[in-house]
Amino acid sequence: MDKLHSHQNLQNRISYLEKELLKAKSSALPLTFNLEPRLFFEICEHSKNAIAIFETVDHGNNFFIRYLNFKAEEIESVNRKKIIGTNLTDSFPSVKTSGFLNALKKVYQSGHPEDFPATMFSSGKIIEWKQNYIYKLSDILLVSIYIDETEHRTKEFELFEHREKLEIAMEAANYYSYEIDFQTMKISTDLELYIHLGYSDSESKEFLKKAGSLIHPEDYKKAVNLISQHSRKIKPSLKTEFRIKNKRGQWVWFSANGKIIEWDKNSNPRRFVGLVKNVQEEKEMLFKLQESEEKFKSLATLLPEVIYETDVHGNITFVNLKAYDIFEYTPDDLKKGLNVMQILAPEEFERATINLEKVLEKENSTGEEYQAITKTGKRFPILVYSNPIKKNNNVVGLRGIIVNITDHKKTQEQLKNSEETFRQLSENIADGFWLRTLDEKVIYANPACYNIVGARLKEIFEDFDLYLNWVHPDDRKQITEQRQKNLEKQDKIHFYEHRIINQDGEIRWLWIRTFPVYDTNGKLYRRAGIASDITTQKKLWSELLAAKEKAEESDKLKSAFLANMSHEIRTPMNGILGFAELLKDENITEQDKMDFIKIIDSNSKQLLSLINDIIDVAKIEAGQLTLNKKETEINPLLCEIYQLFKKEQKRLKKENITFNLKIPDSENPVIFTDIFRLKQIFHNLLSNAFKFTKTGTINMGYQIISENGRSYYRFYVADTGIGIPENMVHFIYERFGQVQPQKFTNKHGTGLGLAISKGLIELLEGKIWVDSVEQDLSQKISGHSTFYFTIPINKMFSSKKQKPEVKLKQKMKDFSTVSILVVEDDKDNLEFLRRLLRKFGATVFIAQTGEEAIQLVKTNTQINLVLMDIRLPDINGFETTQRIKEINPKLPVIAQTAYAMYNDREICLENGCDDYMAKPLNRDILFKKINQYLYN
Ligand code: ADP
């Protein structure tokens, strides 16, 4: 401060100097250097002002430098020793242009001191600034006391410039300065402030006097309080906000700061300066911000989802109420510090950390699923969305939403399950299922649908022409009509069936059901369909129909059969009963007696044959018929059959028919088959041939043929009879199948013969068929039939030894030493056997129950043989046999059964019997068997 002497200081010093000089004058000191020179120079040398003394010798035209003090030497940057005594204008030529010379002259001439601020310009800028005070010391001497103010003035100028700039800047930034004088307690401000608030110039000037009166009373109080705190040095500076009323009576917000800049000696504040700034806009912004934050917060409270904010470390800084609700933490927990990781299950940490870093690197998260954990350890799934919070382009934290997806998950799971169920169902059902839009675009079709329709399903389903092409030609018309119906009634269920030709060219039947699908608003928006391949059902259905027809037919046949059977049975029964009745007559002749017995015998045989047929059919159908194959020469066998039928031809009085046996010219071939059954087949065929032929020829024979690498005997019976209509050819092999039997004169027959023959031939691994032309006398077409059947030639004849048939002795022995036990509960049969055996001399024991039989065996050791009936009233024949064998294991037991339905022989042998005979017993066979067991 000392260095920069203010103008005032300079004045003070000069006046001091003047006073000193005047003192010197008054004390009669010499005016020039009469003054104590040492003192004078002492003063001058220590003066901080530059002092120069000039002398004029030519009345003020030229001035010579007489003295320069130390300071002047310093300011002028000269060596005073060199320039003292020189002409002023020579040493300092600039005095002419600066006006200093003129100023000296003026003071010299007027005698009045002159204040002369001297400036030097260079490039339009003041480069030198000196403040001179020129004083006339005597007639020839002038004193110039001066100071170089260049630096000070430059600074002052710069300060002025700065202040101007500052004022402009302050105005631009709405800053206004103010000052408080603590002594007067007056506040003064920039006039601009009031103008800025809309007041007129004159009003503003008024306010200048009473600044502070416009401040809001509350804020005023607050500001006074703050200033007081500041003045007591409680606060280092003042910073506050207050409202000032504008011209329109509105309160405008200002911010103010300031500082006490002057204190008195007692450290009391004297001056306070500061700036105020209009912050109304910022305030409004802040209010809006606060308002929107308020809004946000109240909305956040209402939100059903969790809203959160964290810092960069994941420490939660804000959450809405929902968060406390679902995570079970309290606001206190949050205050104490809660990291986002604490609401995640431990296994999620690693993934969450990676994701957190990604978001912090400014990536927005699209939603990550985590397992959350509550304060009490409850777990549930959440979906977390987060965005980075940025400030000045730096990420300072995270903000996001957490959604509890437990319900969503459950629904998703349920949906998944139901979808899975649907998928399983739809992919595994054999029925085709599809869903399509109302404009016939296929949305879904299950695999079965593709199986039925093929890979082009979509194409076919979406283009009716293609569909029609796929439909069987015979069903196309019906399907075209059906489609029309479907289109007209899209909201109805439609059923229909049609055939298609599939990729393999196969005709398949489809059953189709299409139905409407509605959306949640009950609006029709899709159609779905189910197609089932019902080809098998259709086939079954037609088979069922055929079976039904057949059953009805067979029902009819049965009725016919029963009528026939009744006839067949009654006829021989009539004969038997009628002639048996006649036999009772004592007067009949011996010849008649014999004739009657023959008739009874013949009728009985006929009846037995019928029963045998029925039993055979039953056995074949039950799969119970067993074969007894053996090796036999064919030719003699056929001769035997032929001979038998020669006799039959005679009996039938059909000698007019030419009957031939044709045997191929070859070695006598051998056949391995069931001879009995082979004879039975021939018997049936030949019987029919004779039955249905009136005249012409009947041939029988065989050929050896080869088919598919196998050799067969092909037997045949050919006749020139009535023939068989073509459509009945298959029917005749059915049980009871007869072609209009009433048409024929020969009404004998049950319709079982061919059924039995076919069954037997198939058991013998052969086939039967017929070539026939039906006789039509009106068309003069003669009929004929040739029945063929095959038996394979089995070259590898079974090596298995057949159980040898009991060899029957040809010669009959006398039974006089024989005791036979007859076990039989039927009195007639018993009587018959008793008489028969006795007739041949045997002793006959009789038992009607099993127990009786056992007792008799126990008590009569002479019994040699037992004839055992199987069906007995108490214990059956098998058990009786076993108990008899326990008593006497060697006693032969021959079973006699009337069942004939089962494999009797096997069953009897298995149950301990030695042999078996079917009822009615053949006398010869019985005697042969008894002979065999007693004398062999
Ligand atoms: P049945 O001869 O007892 O009636 P079959 O089963 O032996 O029974 O024959 C069935 C039917 O086949 C006969 O009723 C007859 O209509 C027809 N049939 C069988 N053989 C001949 C044949 N040689 N000529 C004409 N029709 C025959």
Tens of pLDDT, residue by residue over 172-228, are 677 888 888 888 878 888 778 888 888 888 887 777 667 678 889 888 888 888 888
- Give the CB-side neighbour count of residue 673, counting CA atoms within 13 A: 27
- pLDDT tens-place string over residues 144-155: 888 777 777 777
Q: How far is the CA of 750 from the centre of ligand 1 (A)?
A: 9
- Closest residue (by CA) to atom 19 of ligand 1? 688
Q: Rounded to whole angstroms, how far apart are CA atoms 833 and 819?
A: 13
Task: Give all strands of the β-sheet with 784-792 in edge-to-edge order.
Answer: 658-662, 697-707, 710-719, 784-792, 768-773
- pLDDT at 6 > cutoff 70: no
Going by CA atoms, what residue is nearest to atom 25 of ligand 1? 723
Taking the C-alpha atoms of residue 287 and residue 797, their distance in angstroms, rounded to an integer, is 119
C-alpha 274/C-alpha 352 separation (Å) is 53
- Are 434 and 449 contacting, i.e. CB atoms less than 8 angstroms apart? yes
Number of the ligand 1 atom closest to the C-alpha atom of 751:
8
Q: Distance (Å, rounded) from C-alpha 784 to C-alpha 498?
A: 46
Long-range pairs, 852-856, Cβ under 8 A, ≥24: 852/823, 853/821, 853/823, 853/880, 853/884, 854/880, 854/883, 854/884, 854/887, 856/821
Question: Which 8-state DSSP code applies to residue 56?
Answer: E
Q: Tell which atom from ligand 1 comes closest to the C-alpha of 721.
A: 24
What's the pLDDT band for 748 if we cut at 50, 70, 90?
Answer: low
Q: From ligand 1's centre to the CA of 739, what distance in Å?
A: 7
Q: What pLDDT sits at residue 512? A: 93
- Find the mean pLDDT for residues 752-760: 92
What is the 699 CA–ligand 1 centroid distance (Å)?
A: 17
CA distance 238 to 222: 11
Greater confidence (682 vs 233) lies with 682
The residue whose CA has the least distance to atom 20 of ligand 1 is 688
Which residue's C-alpha comes closest to atom 21 of ligand 1? 688
Instruction: Give Cα 280 distance to the centre of its chain.
Output: 62
pLDDT of residue 120: 64
CA 413 to chain centre: 10
SS3 for 520? coil
Q: pLDDT > 70: what percent of the chain?
A: 89
Give the pLDDT confidence score for residue 800 in this predicted structure. Answer: 38
Burial of 414 (C-beta count, 10 Å sphere; 0-12/13-18/19+): exposed
- Token pair 């002369």 is found at 116
Query: Sorting pLDDT into bands at 50, 70 and 90, what band is 13?
Result: low
Identify the band that residue 798 occupies on the pLDDT scale cut at 50, 70 and 90: very low
* 394-437 per-position pLDDT tens digit: 888 888 899 999 988 888 888 888 888 888 888 888 899 999 99
For residue 733, give Cα distances in angstroms to 3, 30, 176, 707, 841: 154, 187, 132, 23, 50
CA–centroid distance, 556 to ligand 1, in Å, is 17
Q: What is the mean pLDDT of residues 909-930?
A: 86
pLDDT digits (tens, 9 = 90+) for 829-876: 888 888 888 888 889 999 999 999 999 999 999 999 999 998 888 899
The atom number, within ligand 1, closest to the CA of 717 reads 23
**Torsion angle of the four alpha carbons 165, 168, 171, 177, in this order, in degrees rounded to the nearest 10:** 40
What is the band of 29 on the pLDDT scale with cuts at 50, 70, 90?
Answer: very low
pLDDT at 121: 60
Q: CA 135 to CA 115: how far, in whole Å? A: 9
What pLDDT sits at residue 371? 94
- Whether residue 745 has pLDDT greater than 60: no
pLDDT of res. 809: 41
Atom of ligand 1 nearest to the CA of 723: 25
CA of 558 to the centre of ligand 1 (A): 16
Please list, in sequence order, all residues whose beta carbon lies within 8 angstroms of the beta carbon of residue 317, skipping any fewer than 6 positions away: 309, 310, 311, 397
SS3 of 265, please? coil
- The model's confidence at residue 804, banded by pLDDT at 50, 70 and 90, is very low
Give the length of the chain. Answer: 936
Nearest Cα to Cα of residue 528 among 520, 519, 516: 516
CA 141 to centroid of ligand 1, rounded, Å: 188
In 671-707, which positions are buried (b, 16+ CB within 10 angstroms) versus exposed (e)? Answer: bbbbbebbebbbbbbbbbbbbbbeeeebbbbbeeeee
Q: 361-396, pLDDT tens digit by residue? A: 766 767 889 999 999 999 999 999 888 888 888 888
Query: What single-letter DSSP state applies at residue 473?
Result: G
* Most informative mutation of 606, 645, 698, 738 for ligand 1 (most atoms within 8 A of CB): 738
The residue whose CB lies within 8 Å of the most ligand 1 atoms, and thus the one to mutate among 681, 682, 684, 688, is: 688
For residue 477, how many other CB atoms are within 10 A of its CB?
Answer: 11
Residue 521 CA, distance from chain mean position:
26
Residue 917 pairs in a beta bridge with 896
With a pLDDT cut of 90, the percent of the chain lying above it is 30
Q: What are residue 385's DSSP bridge partners? A: 401
Tokens (6 digits) for 233? 């040095």
145 CA to centre of ligand 1 in angstroms: 176
Q: Is residue 813's pLDDT more than 80?
A: no
Bond into 920 cis (ω within 30):
yes
Residue 141's Cβ-side half-sphere holds a number of Cα atoms within 13 Å equal to 11
Q: Answer whether 866's CB lies under 8 Å from 894's CB.
A: yes
For the cut 80, the answer to whether the pLDDT of residue 124 exceeds it is no
Which residue is closest in CA terms to ligand 1's atom 4?
751
Cβ-contact 268, 247 below 8 angstroms = no
For the segment 255-259, the average pLDDT, to the nearest whole number, is: 87
Tell how far the Cα of 543 is from the centroid of ligand 1, in angstroms: 27
Q: Considering only 31-45, 75-89, 698-712, 910-924, which range has the smallest mean pLDDT? A: 31-45
- 835 Cα–ligand 1 center, Å: 42
Identify the three-state secondary structure at position 336.
Answer: helix
What integer is the mean pLDDT of 269-294? Answer: 86
Residue 806 has pLDDT above 50, yes or no: no
Closest CA to 913 of 887, 880, 874, 864: 880
**Higher confidence at residue 810 or residue 867?**
867
pLDDT > 80? residue 687: yes
Q: Are 692 and 743 in contact (CB under 8 A)?
A: no
> CB count, 10 Å around CB of 359?
20
Contacts of 448 (CB under 8 A, 6+ apart): 427, 429, 430, 431, 432, 433
Residue nearest to atom 3 of ligand 1 (CA): 749
In this structure, the residues whose C-beta lies within 6 A of any atom of ligand 1 are 684, 688-689, 692, 719, 721-724, 732, 737-739, 741, 749-755, 785
Tokens of 682: 């021939």
For ligand 1, atom 2, name the residue with the nearest CA: 749
Whether the predicted pLDDT of 572 surpasses 70 = yes
Mean pLDDT of 759-772: 94
838-876 burial, b for 16+ CB within 10 Å, e for fewer? eebebbbbbbbebebbbebbeeeeebbbbbbbbebeeee
pLDDT of residue 298: 79
Q: Is the pLDDT of residue 9 over 70?
A: no
Number of the ligand 1 atom closest to the C-alpha atom of 733: 6
Mean of per-residue pLDDT scores for the chain? 84
Residue closest via CA to ligand 1's atom 16 equals 739
Which residue has a Cα nearest atom 18 of ligand 1?
688
Q: Which atom of ligand 1 is nearest to the CA of 738?
A: 14
Closest CA to 692 of 608, 614, 774: 774
Nearest ligand 1 atom to alpha carbon 750 = 3
| pLDDT for residue 743 is more than 70 | no
Separation of CA 738 and ligand 1 centre (Å): 6
Most confident of 536-540, 606-610, 806-810: 536-540
pLDDT of residue 900: 57
Distance 784 CA to ligand 1 centre (A): 12
State both tokens at 190.
Answer: 């920039």
Distance, CA of 77 to CA of 875 (rounded, Å):
170
Task: Report the pLDDT value the prediction gives residue 795, as an integer from 0 to 100.
Answer: 58
Distance CA 914, CA 374 (A): 93
pLDDT band at 698 (very low <50, low <70, confident <90, very high): very high
Cβ-contact 199, 207 below 8 angstroms: yes
Distance 30 CA to ligand 1 centre (A): 195
Q: How far is the CA of 73 from the centre of ligand 1 (A)?
A: 173
> What is the amino acid identity at position 810?
Q
pLDDT score for 872: 87
Q: Which atom of ligand 1 is nearest to the CA of 741?
A: 14
Alpha carbon of 544 to ligand 1 centroid (Å): 28
Q: Which residues of 168-187 are buried (b: 16+ CB within 10 A; e: fewer)?
A: eebeeebbbbbbbebeeeeb
Place of tokens 């420490």: 315
When pLDDT is cut at 50, 70 and 90, the band that residue 25 belongs to is: very low
Contacts of 831 (CB under 8 A, 6+ apart): none
What atom of ligand 1 comes closest to residue 722's alpha carbon?
25
Residue 184 Cα to ligand 1 middle (Å) = 156
DSSP 8-state symbol, 455? T
The minimum-distance atom of ligand 1 relative to the CA of 787 is 23
Q: What residue has token string 């004398």?
A: 935
pLDDT at 727: 87
pLDDT value at position 718? 97
* Residue with more model confidence, 131 or 123: 131
CA of 156 to the centre of ligand 1 (A): 155
The closest-lying atom of ligand 1 relative to the alpha carbon of residue 684 is: 7
pLDDT-wise least confident of 389-393, 608-612, 902-906 = 902-906
Alpha helices in 210-360 (DSSP H): 217-231, 280-302, 321-327, 331-336, 349-360
Question: CA–CA separation, 456 vs 467, rounded Å?
Answer: 10
Residues whose CB is less than 8 angstroms from the CB of residue 543 and which lie 6 or more positions away in sequence, other chains included: none
Query: What average pLDDT does this structure show over 147-169?
Result: 73
Amino acid sitting at position 16: Y
* Helix, coil or strand: residue 498: strand
